Amino acid sequence: MSVVVVGAGPAGIRAVERLVAAGLRPVWIEEAPDAGGRVFQKPPPGFARSASVLYGADHARASALHAAHAALREHTDWRPGTMVWNIRPGPALLDVQGPDGGHESLGYERLILCTGAMDRVVPIPGWTQPGVTALGAAQIALKTQGLALGSRVALCGTGPLLLLLAWQLTKAGAPPALVLESADWPGMLRPGLAWNIPAALRGLGWMAGLRRAGVVVRRGAVPLSVAPGCEALVWRDRRGREQRTAVDAVALGWGLKPETQLADLAGARFAFDALQRLWLPARDPAGRCSVPGVYLAGDGASIGGSVVAELAGARAALALLEDAGLRPDPLESITLDRALAREARFRRALESAFPYPHALAAGMDDATLLCRCEAITAGEMRRSAAPELNRGKALTRVGMGRCQGRLCGPPAAEVLAAAMGCDIAEIGRLRGQMPVKPVVLR
């Protein structure tokens, strides 16, 4: 049986672990040069910080995952630096480009997609300028390159990553100049957060640490624009007053969004998730999507974080083994299902406590560049008066650029739905198109 696992983050590693334990030798594809995913990405060779410095409280899990990968790779057809840019469900083929630029098509009988996630943004005037990055970018720069993106960085967004990054920068000696959290009390207080007391306490610890360090954290606050040259951030405080803060870098990110393009190309049916305000591939609790033989796990299917990704990766592999008649231990599946259900309750509370600020996206000025790939404004999307997002894309080219709508997709849906006066679910989602990322030709 030919099994392919795409992704070597927490979900992919735990999936491959179960497959190898069952005697399979999967093809294991990872776009990055090494395993760990974005959350536990290793710096390139030559960097010296220890795992406990790099991954903080999660360092034991990070090291365990790295060790698991190191032990597993020789039992798989390990292909780092390899990008899957298309899936053809009919012949069951993956089109991939290897690290040397060579192309290949790989067949699969069963497929586990652990494609990870990226930042979810709201475009604001000035956001395409140098100095403005995604929130995740500022964390990757610190973790894998030892950089602070400026000496006066403003962090804008919501949820755990915002506070964690602010705390990591502070500990590294580069405290942010300003932290804007769009959520506010009392909405951030959700009883469901008690489903994961250690995580909730960790968040409170970051808040206390930032307060001690004198970092300015404003809740109920959102950025309005980045001044020319990225010299200042104009923002709105919780009382609706406009403020201006001198900065030299700005990072934006209101939670994460799954990388669902490959699931889409594989033929998965999507369903609207009202809490995340996103269309996501539908799957059963074990990770089976609507296409037999295709399984989804981790943040690439639905945002859950790295703990959920480990559980879901393992569970998806067990589902694959069950479906293939390889009879894995049913007790392990039951244990994983219970753990996933518990984590899901916590996750729902987190999503409610730190929602995507959709009104900010829906209300962006006509002149704001909505699509940074093709430099298309929100006004052009509104004027398209398209009844559905892919129609809006065809009329305006929003989402047709190099990033294939990864960044502009969610805010474009908010802008168009508000302009058309319809529900966000009705406006639809940008369909995945191959190549899901630019392919280098030579």
Instruction: Enter the tokens of residue 235.
Output: 């923002």
Closer by beta carbon to another protein, 20 or else 169: 169
For every residue of 263-304, DSSP letters joined together read: HHHTT--EEEETTTTEEEE-B-TTSBBSSTTEEE-GGGTS--
Q: Cβ of residue 172: shortest distance to another protein, in angstroms?
A: 6
Using CB under 8 A as the binding rule, whether residue 52 contacts another protein is answered as no
Of these, 130, 240, 325, 421, which contacts another protein (CB under 8 A)? Answer: 130
Using CB under 8 A as the binding rule, whether residue 230 contacts another protein is answered as yes
- The dihedrals phi and psi of 251, each to the nearest 5 degrees, come to -120, 135
- CA–CA separation, 177 and 192 (whole Å): 32
Using CB under 8 A as the binding rule, whether residue 177 contacts another protein is answered as no
Question: Which of these ranges, 45-53, 179-187, 292-300, 349-357, lies near another protein under the rule CB under 8 A?
Answer: 45-53
H or E segment at 33?
none
Of these, 122, 148, 183, 278, which contacts another protein (CB under 8 A)? Answer: 148
Closer by beta carbon to another protein, 221 or else 250: 250
Using CB under 8 A as the binding rule, whether residue 364 contacts another protein is answered as no
Using CB under 8 A as the binding rule, whether residue 249 contacts another protein is answered as yes
- CA–CA separation, 289 and 266 (whole Å): 10
> How many Cα atoms sit within 13 Å of 435 on the Cβ side?
13
Of these, 57, 67, 70, 147, which contacts another protein (CB under 8 A)? Answer: 147
Closer by beta carbon to another protein, 345 or else 437: 437
β-strand partners of 225: 234
Of these, 1, 403, 420, 425, which contacts another protein (CB under 8 A)? Answer: 403
Closer by beta carbon to another protein, 148 or else 416: 148
- The dihedrals phi and psi of 198, each to the nearest 5 degrees, come to -60, -40
Of these, 334, 375, 385, 422, which contacts another protein (CB under 8 A)? Answer: 375
Using CB under 8 A as the binding rule, whether residue 31 contacts another protein is answered as yes
- The dihedrals phi and psi of 54, each to the nearest 5 degrees, come to -70, -40
The SS3 of residue 6 is strand
For every residue of 80-122, DSSP letters joined together read: TT-EEEEEETTTTEEEEE-TTS-EEEEE-SEEEE---EEE---
- Look up residue 425 and give its DSSP letter: T
Site string for another protein, 309-348 (x = CB under 8 A): ----------------------------------------
Contacts to another protein by CB under 8 A: 31-32, 38, 43-49, 101, 118-119, 128-134, 136-137, 140-142, 145-151, 172-174, 230, 248-249, 259, 369, 372-375, 401-403, 406-407, 437-438, 440, 442
